[in-house]
Structure 1
Amino acid sequence: MKSDELDNAIERGEIAPLYYFYGDEPYLMERAVKRLTERVVSADFRDFNLDVFYGNESKGDDIATAAQTLPMFADRRMVLVKRAGDLSAAALETLAACVADPAPQTCLLFVGDKIDKRKKFFLDLAKKGELVEFKRPYENQLGVFIRDEARSLGKRIDGAAVEMLVYLVGNNLGELATQLEKVATFVGTRETLTVEDVREVVSDTKVESVFDLANALGERDLGKSLRSLATILRDGEAPLMLLAMIARHFRQLWRVRELMAAKVQQQEVARRTGINPYFLKGVMDQARNFTVADLRRVFEGLYAADLALKGVGGGGKPSLVMERLVMDVCGMGRRKR
């Protein structure tokens, strides 16, 4: 079962006796746990009908007993097992009986990171209940999430504002939701969130500095690039994460450079690259600063920096590795216009 199918089933009141939530997107998983809990157990009776266990510190017998206990003052109870991936083999063996013959009055929910669908425990659970995967969305899928979140806040959001938010925050859904709520609060009763609103509210976070650094490198402005880099490293941004953001920016520049060389019209460049027209002119201006040979050398430098940051070949101090990369990018060749 996919996460959106789960949302629809919960909305319809179709609750399975068994669930196992897993995947690499904790925000969606936590939200689904909350929605399911609210649907299964009334807030007034959770003291009686909600049991929470942790796989790294719970015994299978305790979980099984709770799952087989009748609800009080309600039709159903819920048993939630967090960190289910840490359940011992003995605990899983004990719980196998609950999975093979689930108690109809209980919703037993396991929450973990990974599963092995070849194991009998998960094969049986899939027959009697639901395995629900929560995947971190690709960047081109984030727009739907952001618009849905904005709608839940009673707002609409411009396409350029969506793009800006993704650029500044990345694909961390929890952080996206938090920043979007801040923007919605900032605009007050106004219905539409704009790119200016996003920059105004999100600009004081460290991701804004990453945005500035990427643009400064694209402009081949050494002074600005080094100042942005110093700010980012001072604020504790992981160098490898920073490197990934720079690589993303230069992949965009390379793609745009190729399309420009092929005399593709600006509107078509926007369509093929997925870059919002609000940002495209700036990206095209930056792309003109680099030949294809320049861009190839940029990626050779990014690869070398990645190895150095991972300690391959002696590595080096991260700040020096990043400074050397910045100077190489800004200094190569002659500015092309």
Structure 2
Amino acid sequence: MKYDEDKLSSAIKSGDISRINYLYGDERFLVKTYTDRLLDTTIGKDRNDINLTKLGSTFPVDVLTDSIESMPLFSDKKVVLISDLDMEKFDENAIETILSSFKDIPDECTVIISITGSSEQIKKAKNKKLITALSKQKNAAVCEFTHLTPARVTELIMKKAAKRGCVISRPNAQHIAELTLCDLSLSSAETDKLCSYVGTGEITAEMIDKLTIKQLDTSIYSLAAELTKGNRKQALLILDDLIAQKIDPIVILASLSSNYIDFYRAKAAQSTGKSASLVAEDFGYAKNRTFVVTKAMNLVSRLDMTHIRNCLDILFNADHLLKTSAINGRTVLEETIVKLSPEKSRRAYY
């Protein structure tokens, strides 16, 4: 059966856990969190427990069937934990055996399949076949953890800080969420670091900017934002920092171009009276990136569409130069930044 996060959480709290649990999705932090919660509820916190069998992405099929069918030792429960199961690695006979073994799991056994690897793996035919089969089984719980919205990540940051005895305002918690691109693993680690720094007290915006590790996309977004405001000097300082980190100029330009595509979409939406949420939906932005559209719409209010189109032309030409000429990558990027400034872009081309 298909579960959402709330239903899975309720099942764990009540102890009404399905015989087989398949956890996957883009939000790998939650996959790991709920895997640990299932393990804690079934066999306790000892990950070396004699009644815990650990299997990897591939294994001899008879090892799985024996692990499921064998009786627990000195306990009434046992768990088979399969990490990053990849059905693509098994032949058809093995797949049928695996599917058959999952249909009749003894009451004393719980199978947990935890997928924290590449999301592309799930899209392959044999893995999709397993998910479809388990979704129809009454003894199974299939739970996909999609990206959380910025608002939800903000709430979790505030709760985590409060649990550590710290105070953080909603705007500052949202700032952490945006700096970490709403990645729960990153936002959790950064919140822990800030709480350790503060001890007990308030986490301020100054502390966040000083201590939070800037993600590449966040840094380049800041660069693009400074350009929309006409702050070339600050944009060049950000570029200098990125170059010092030895970030490939092509990667920097690609991310910068992505921001300007967001700006173009936001401006087009503004001119037709469309909302940020509709833009995010129409262009398939992930839940954890919807804030990008909202911020883009705020930034482009001072720009006209001709300027943004010119910027896209400038970025296209810069990309061509980086990939086809021997010109120093830093030089290309610096010239591009100057040309992207509002008062320059209408007439600046390579």
**TM-score of the superposition, structure 1-length normalised?**
0.75
- Hey, what's the Cα distance between the residues in 2 that align with 1:140 and 1:133? 19
Q: 2: CA distance between counterparts of 1:35 and 1:315?
A: 54
Aligned positions of 1:99-248 closer than 5 A: 99-112=102-115, 113=119, 114=122, 119=129, 122-124=132-134, 126-127=136-137, 128-190=139-201, 192-202=202-212, 209-210=219-220, 212-237=222-247, 238-239=251-252, 242-243=255-256, 246-247=259-260
- Cα distance in 2 for residues equivalent to 1:315 and 1:64: 59
Q: Is 2:50–2:73's contact at 8 Å kept on the other side of the alignment?
A: yes
Partner deviation per Cα, 1:251-297 (whole Å, 9 max, x = no partner): 698489869xxxxxxxxxxxxx979xxx99xx66x853x33321333
Instruction: Measure, in 1, the Cα distance between the counterparts of 2:199 and 2:170.
Output: 20
Assess if the C-alpha contact under 8 Å between 2:177 and 2:183 holds in 1: no
Matched residues in 2 for 1:80 and 1:253: separation? Answer: 45
Following the alignment from structure 1 to structure 2, what is the Cα–Cα distance between the partners of residues 70 and 27? 32
Tell me, yes or no, if the aligned pair for 1:160 and 1:194 is still in contact at 8 Å: no
Counterparts of 1:96 and 1:257, CA distance in 2: 51
- Give deviations 1:209-250, integer Å, cap 9, x for gaps: 446423431232333322311311332454367336734874
Shift of residue 180, structure 1, vs aligned partner: 1.0
1:92 corresponds to which of 75, 95, 100: 95
Tell me the number of residue pairs that the alignment of Structure 1 and Structure 2 aligns. 312
Change (3 A) 1:199 1:252: farther
Q: Counterpart amino acid of 1:23?
A: G
Task: Please give the alpha-carbon distance, in whole angstroms, between the structure 2 residues aligned to 1:302 and 1:208.
Answer: 19
Q: Is the 8 A contact 2:27 2:146 kept in 1?
A: yes
- Counterparts in 2 of 1:299 and 1:243: CA distance versus 1, 3 Å: same
Kindly provide the amino acid, as one letter, of the partner of residue 298 in structure 1. Answer: C
Match among 339, 342, 345 for residue 328 of structure 1: 339
Q: Deviations over 1:37-87 (max 9, x none)?
A: 11111235842111111114x122112211222112222111111121254
Cα-to-partner distance string for 1:6-29 (whole Å, 9 max, x where unaligned): 223212222111011121221111
- RMSD, aligned CA: 3.9
1:47 partner SS: coil
Gaps of 5+ in 1: 260-272
Write out per-residue CA displacement over residues 76-126 of structure 1, whole angstroms, 9 at most, x where no aligned residue.
Answer: 111111121254134422212221111211111112341658636742464
Matched with 1:266 is none
CA 1:18–1:294: 2 relative to 1, 3 Å: same
- The question of whether the paired residues in 2 share the 8 Å contact of 1:23 and 1:135 is answered with yes
| Aligned partner of residue 48 in structure 1, secondary structure | coil
So what's the TM-score if we normalise by structure 2? Answer: 0.73
Aligned amino acid, residue 235 of structure 1: Q
Q: Structure 1: how far apart are the matches of 2:321 and 2:9?
A: 44
Separation in structure 1 between the aligned mates of residue 328 and residue 61 of structure 2, nearest angstrom = 47
SS of residue in 2 equivalent to 1:4: helix
Matches for 1:24-35 after TM superposition, within 5 Å:
24-35=26-37
| Preserved contact between residue 169 and residue 207 of structure 1 (Cα < 8 Å) | no
Task: Structure 2: state its 5+ residue gaps.
Answer: 273-289
Residue of structure 2 equivalent to 1:291:
304
Sequence identity of aligned pairs in percent? Answer: 20
Cα distance, 1:46–1:250 mapped onto 2, change above 3 Å: same
Within the candidate set 4, 22, 26, 1:2 is matched to 4
